[in-house]
Amino acid sequence: MVYKIKRLFFISLLFAVSVAISEKKLVEIKFNDITDVQKLVDLNIDLDHHRTFNSVHAFVSNGEFDIISKLNFEIEYIPNQARIYYEELKENTQNSRNPMEDYHNYVELTDFLEDIATNYPDITHLKSIGQSVQGRELWVMEISDNPGTNEIEPEFKYVANMHGDETVGRELSLYLIEWLVSGYGNNQRATDLINNTDIFIMPTMNPDGFENGSRYNANGVDLNRDFPDQFSDPNNTTMGRQPETRAVMEWSWDQHFVLSANMHTGALVANYPFDGPNSGVYSASPDDDLFVHISLAYADAHPDMASGGFSNGITNGAQWYAVSGGMQDWNYVWESDCDITLEQNEVKFPNSNQLPGLWEDHREPMLVYLEEVHDGVRGVITDIDSGEPLNANISIQGIDHDIFPDPENGDYYRLLTPGTYTISASVFGYLTESATVTVPITGYVEQNFTLSLDPWLAEAEIEDFEEGIFSDLGWGFDGSANWATDNTVVFEGNYSVKSGNINENEESSMSIELDVIEDGQISFYKKVSCESTGSVTGNYYDYLAFFIDGVEIDKWAGEIDWSLESFPVNAGIHTFKWLFIKDGGVTSGSDAAWVDYIVLPPISTNEECGSGDINGDEINNVLDVVLLVNCILGSECETCQADINQDETVNVLDVVLLVNSILN
């Protein structure tokens, strides 16, 4: 077994030096057992979604072809029909004014979108969210009754053509745009969609791939394997990703998409999360019932999808074939966006004369799916006193997947299947509010939340560094560089604290010793930017760690945005330490960590009780005696100062002692 592992590792190293930088070719790989596919996955072979129990299609380089052959797989090249049709189309139309027949090349697509934006300026906004490897604009068309304005309404997106040679969705996007804008004011359905939804359509995520007749972008990368992945790449960062992927991620961060789909070809099925792990079995997300529901909404509206070889025309991604780095899982896991993959035609690059018929087949499914964004429960979350929006966690009892509101307006949209649910809104520092709602068969139920500040937090000891310095609670520092306050990266207010500026094989720590007077917890917000190694395996290199009494409680690596951590603490004297450490290897991100808004457990502040200064004016006099007598007679007073002899009872003896102290 050790020999096999070493052999696979050696072969993986060979890939790094033997794979030629050229267009990968389509092959069929045959095997004796379905478990053999894992060997191909371990070698990062680009598997296609055509799969049986004894064969799979893949895209391989010449070097990969040779290595797979040496592993005793039966492998052979097969015609890539999409590429063949592309070459014929280019050859037949090279001197034509219609270079791609009914397909739109990049220039024609740009002209089409610009014409729409010019002719419908009140309901459209055309924007480039970035550029491809070869400098082509990544166009997005927004369609709304107030384009460019963040209204209190759900945001929806369609993304097409992320595989350059899967072309149907590219053209269906243009058909859909034209149907919507031309129907506004004339067609009630189109008018309602535009008035009540912020619709975004990206006809091509991979314009270079389309122009080159290739699945890949111009760097030879499969864009649907380039996103963060919860199983193999759990770092929600754009670092090291392709420009097209970075653009889509940053665009998604700027918006607040609720529902979306990405459009492909090569099969006829609606595919839903999870896409991994590579187990070959059904991998259900927490919202599996919802994903089945919205996938069926699309498939049931299509005239032939149920006959595409999949039960009811839908499939779970991992059960069909696993994908690492796919866009649909990224949207759901990190972005609170329910996303599915639509395989819209079994032929990847069909003859252009089939496009009108494909639009007729997919028009109703695309509209029905878009309308699903209006089902479930929605509302606005605000502060009860100020009325300002709050960035809350929206949770559903029994479904382990929270969503978040739009931070600008506080509006949220929780997609749910019909039924009765308990929904809660929680914000750190506020009292959680819950409600029971019944989601109708179609449409939504509205549930607003107005949250009140948690009175306990108002009395808690909080270290938020808002004076630009560490408090006088007794902070200590160790390592090669001290932690310091930082006003450039903060969770709340104007300051956080940042780990020291350290080099390789150095560390920076801050610590505090506290007398905890009763059981409680310590909470804080942390942010990390460093090498991600270890975030999956546990074998960390660079990381932030938190210790209680010298025992490591948890640690974190990679690109982690502000997130809350809470740990229980028993009464007693404890030392709390935050340590950022860097090994001798990779430099990644900012190589730093930040901490902010530390809520300490109940602690002794060493306040001097029994002083007799009842009114807190720092002078003991006859007024304090009067207040003490009133306290004994039943008036409200500060027991700490009134209990002169510290016997936990305020009585006449305390009056005697206070009078004596004044006379003396």
**Which positions are catalytic?**
343
| Bridge pairing between strands 496-498 and 484-486 | antiparallel
What is the rounded CA–CA span in Å between residue 105 and residue 210? 8
**Phi, psi of 592, rounded to the nearest 5 degrees:** -155, 170
Tokens 């014409």 belong to: 115
Burial of 96 (0-12, 13-18, 19+ CB in 10 A): exposed
What is the rounded CA–CA span in Å between residue 571 and residue 586? 41
What is the rounded CA–CA span in Å between residue 630 and residue 375? 62
Tokens 């530390």 belong to: 598
Q: Contact, 241 vs 226, CB < 8 A?
A: yes
What is the rounded CA–CA span in Å between residue 38 and residue 55? 13
Within 13 Å, how many C-alpha atoms sit on residue 340's CB side?
A: 28
Non-local (6+) Cβ contacts of 205 within 8 A are 138, 159, 160, 161, 162, 223, 244, 248, 262
What is the rounded CA–CA span in Å between residue 475 and residue 528? 21
Q: Contact, 36 vs 43, CB < 8 A?
A: no
What is the rounded CA–CA span in Å between residue 341 and residue 330? 12
**Phi, psi of 320, rounded to the nearest 5 degrees:** -80, -65
Q: How many CB atoms lie within 10 A of CB 352?
A: 17
What is the rounded CA–CA span in Å between residue 370 and residue 294? 10
Cα–Cα distances in angstroms (integers) from residue 274 to residues 224, 284, 286, 537, in the given order: 14, 6, 10, 21
**Contacts by 584-589 with C-beta closer than 8 Å and gap 24+?**
584/504, 584/505, 585/504, 585/531, 585/541, 586/531, 586/533, 586/541, 586/542, 587/531, 588/239, 588/529, 588/530, 588/531, 588/532, 588/542, 589/237, 589/239, 589/529, 589/530, 589/531, 589/559
Identity (one letter) of the amino acid at 308? G
Hey, what's the torsion of the CAs at 178, 181, 185, 187, to 10 degrees? 40
Q: Contact, 654 vs 644, CB < 8 A?
A: yes
Q: Distance between alpha carbon 105 and the CA centroid of its chain, in Å?
A: 33
Tokens 């308990």 belong to: 422
What is the rounded CA–CA span in Å between residue 84 and residue 98? 19
What is the rounded CA–CA span in Å between residue 214 and residue 208? 8
SS3 content of the chain, % helix, strand, coil (to 5): 30, 30, 40
Token readout for 397 is 């009892």
